[in-house]
């Protein structure tokens, strides 16, 4: 008894356009070149935003030291505004940086370097907030209320900024290379999750109405860093990072439905 085949709307990773039902996605060669060229500009954008974050921190330091005063706002609000601007630049910069690392990943040969490179945003967060926090706490010029509130806001910003700079789903150059070599065809991924599939009719995709298709590079750039373990078994692909989702209950339709 084969169930009704799940219909998916397929959306191109290149154009964002949906295919008509029944229409097959073009061969991977017809998909636009992998977005490797974008990594450098993303990194430049990240560094510019991080520098801007530090500039806002320096302005906040000058406010704490009494060397700078935007008279239209009380000191506390000046500090909060500068901390928020610092945080916004830091977060956007870190997202660009992480995106670049998923387009052109670093080698994992040196684990310390690999970790530092992937989580550089977290280190910038420390630089962007810790000196300010120390200066606020040791300031003798500010009143107690301003000091307390500014310090709390800066600590919260440090925590948010640090968490946003951490790469929860890192990928190495070696992993990316292995996946590219093992998987030649089109891959598919759902709107959420970290997994890509080599089969559109994979049972793990039954919950998804919309799928994106593209090359393995595009999947990894979209933060889908792992191959579905089902699809890996079905294609007998090894040596590629797969998910550990328990998919034992699923039997591919192609094996039980006579053609
Ligand atoms: Zn799958």
Q: What is the pLDDT of residue 79?
A: 97
Q: Residue 128 pLDDT more than 60?
A: yes
Q: Residue 4 pLDDT more than 90?
A: no
CA of 35 to the centre of ligand 1 (A): 24
Q: What's the rounded Cα separation, in Å, for the pair 178 and 174?
A: 6
- Confidence category of residue 168, pLDDT binned at 50, 70, 90: very high
In degrees to the nearest 10, what's the CA dihedral of 145, 146, 149, 153? -170
Q: What is the pLDDT of residue 257?
A: 38
Over residues 85-106, the pLDDT tens digits come to: 999 999 999 999 999 999 999 9
Ligand 1 being an ion, which residues bring their Cβ within 5 A of it? 197, 202, 204, 228, 230-231
Phi, psi of 25 (to 5 degrees): -65, 150
CA of 175 to the centre of ligand 1 (A): 18
Q: pTM here?
A: 0.80
- Confidence category of residue 3, pLDDT binned at 50, 70, 90: low
Q: What is the pLDDT of residue 126?
A: 98
Q: What is the pLDDT of residue 18?
A: 84
What is the longest distance spanned by two Cα atoms in the chain?
82
Mean pLDDT of 159-172: 96
Q: Residue 250 pLDDT more than 60?
A: no
Mean pLDDT of 35-55: 89
CA of 201 to the centre of ligand 1 (A): 8
Mean pLDDT of 62-72: 92
Q: Beta-strand (E) ranges in 145-214? A: 187-189, 195-196, 210-214
Q: What is the pLDDT of residue 177?
A: 94
Phi, psi of 4 (to 5 degrees): -70, 135
Q: What's the rounded Cα separation, in Å, for the pair 20 and 53?
A: 45
Quote the percentage of the chain above a pLDDT of 70: 86
Q: Are 227 and 240 in contact (CB under 8 A)?
A: yes
CA of 229 to the centre of ligand 1 (A): 7
CA of 109 to the centre of ligand 1 (A): 29
CA of 188 to the centre of ligand 1 (A): 8
Q: What is the pLDDT of residue 103?
A: 93
CA of 118 to the centre of ligand 1 (A): 27
Q: What is the pLDDT of residue 200?
A: 87
Reduced to 3 states (helix: H, G, I; strand: E, B; else coil), residue 18 is strand
Over residues 171-225, the pLDDT tens digits come to: 999 999 999 999 988 899 888 889 999 998 888 888 887 888 889 999 999 889 9
| Domain definitions of the chain by residue range | 9-31+186-256, 36-165
Over residues 69-83, the pLDDT tens digits come to: 988 999 999 999 999
Mean pLDDT of 113-121: 97
Quote the percentage of the chain above a pLDDT of 90: 63
Between vectors from CA 166 to CA 165 and to CA 170, what angle results, nearest 5°? 125
In degrees to the nearest 10, what's the CA dihedral of 168, 169, 173, 174? 120
Does 50 or 140 have the greater pLDDT score? 50
Q: What is the pLDDT of residue 34?
A: 44
Q: Residue 38 pLDDT more than 90?
A: no
């Amino acid at each position: 008894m084969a169930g009704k085949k799940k219909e998916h709307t397929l959306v191109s990773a290149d154009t964002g356009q949906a295919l008509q039902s029944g229409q097959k996605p073009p061969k991977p060669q017809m998909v636009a070149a992998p977005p490797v060229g974008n990594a450098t500009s993303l990194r430049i954008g990240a560094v510019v935003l991080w520098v801007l974050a530090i500039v806002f921190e320096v302005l906040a330091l000058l406010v704490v030291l009494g060397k700078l005063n935007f008279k239209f706002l009380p000191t506390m609000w000046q500090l909060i505004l500068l901390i928020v601007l610092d945080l916004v630049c830091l977060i956007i910069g870190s997202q660009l940086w992480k995106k670049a690392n998923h387009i052109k990943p670093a080698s994992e040969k040196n684990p310390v370097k690999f970790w530092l490179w992937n989580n550089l945003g977290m280190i910038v967060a420390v630089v962007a907030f810790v000196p300010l926090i120390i200066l606020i706490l040791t300031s003798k010029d500010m009143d107690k209320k301003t000091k307390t509130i500014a310090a709390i806001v800066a600590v919260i910003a440090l925590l948010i900024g640090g968490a946003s700079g951490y790469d929860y789903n890192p990928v190495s150059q070696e992993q990316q290379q292995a996946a590219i070599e093992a998987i030649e065809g089109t891959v598919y991924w759902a709107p959420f999750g970290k997994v890509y599939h080599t089969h559109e009719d994979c049972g793990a995709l039954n919950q998804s109405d919309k799928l994106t298709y593209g090359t393995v590079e595009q999947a990894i750039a979209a933060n889908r860093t792992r191959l579905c373990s089902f699809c890996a078994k079905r294609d007998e692909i090894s040596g590629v990072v797969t998910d550990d989702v328990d998919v034992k209950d699923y039997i591919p339709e192609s094996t039980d439905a006579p053609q």
